[in-house]
Amino acid sequence: MDPVSRLRSVGGRLVPPAEAVAQAVAERAVELVVSALDVNALLARVDMDAVLDEIDINELLGRVDVNAVLDHLDIGSLLDRVDLNRLLERVDLNQLMARLDLNRLLANVDITAIVQQVDVNQIVQQVDVDEVLQKVDLDALMARLDMNAIVQRIDIDAVIQHTDLGAIIARSSGGVAGNALDVVRSQTVGLDEFLARWVARLRRRPYTGPPGPSDVHQALEEA
């Protein structure tokens, strides 16, 4: 028998147990070393800034396929976990709004398209107009109105035509002579009608009051 072959067979039998022993020894040694190590002290010795300076973050990020990462993300469930109220409590909205350039923002917004989508009637039906009006400072509003400009827009002639001037005149103060004149005229008109009624009775015709075409009435009013 070849002596080399014999040695190989002996070696083949001894190697597996030896490897197992070596593995156990190594694990134990590592365990002892790790337990003996003060990781915090070790990290404290590391100059993280220098380490980060050595790393090219952009290149690192360039290697990352963000889309693939996002594809694996369930944004919905992620957002479900977010407590928005708590988040918003930590946000200073005033400061945020102060940073916003609203004019620039609004310049990009198609207000007309938005308004066309709004059902104004439905909104108005939900509005408590009385409550809104109670909040309005009418004095301040009136102070901002240019009454002269408004009055100039009014068609005075049309207003007068629709005004019961008779009632207005009635409220105005009348003198004693005016009162007497009203009495005299009223009495005379009463006499007119008395005579007219009797004449109609003699003629056996119905009497319905003083006659008069409407055109005469209108012409007199216009005059």
> Using CB under 8 A as the criterion, which residues of the chain lie in contact with other proteins when the complex forms?
165-167, 169-171, 174, 178-179, 181-197, 199, 203, 207-221, 223
Q: 12 or 211, CB closer to other proteins?
A: 211
Residue 207 phi/psi, 5-degree rounding, is: -120, 125
Of the pair 22, 183, the CB lying nearest other proteins is at 183
| Closer Cβ to other proteins, 30 or 200, answer by number | 200
3-state helix, strand, coil in the chain (%, to 5): 75, 0, 25
Closest to 46 in 3D by CA, of 35, 57, 58, 38 = 38
Distance between CA 74 and CA 166 in Å, rounded? 81
Nearest to other proteins of 130, 222 (CB atom):
222
Give the nearest distance from C-beta 114 to other proteins in angstroms: 55
CB 161 to other proteins: min, Å: 15
Residue 118 DSSP code: S
Cβ at position 159, least distance to other proteins in Å: 19
Cβ of residue 176: shortest distance to other proteins, in angstroms? 11
Question: Least distance (Å) from other proteins to the CB of residue 175?
Answer: 11
Question: Cβ of 193: how many Cβ atoms within 10 Å?
Answer: 13
Residue 99: C-alpha distances to residues 3, 92, 174 (Å): 89, 11, 70
Do the beta carbons of residue 196 and residue 207 sit within 8 Å?
A: yes
Q: Which is nearer to other proteins, 16 or 211 (CB)?
A: 211
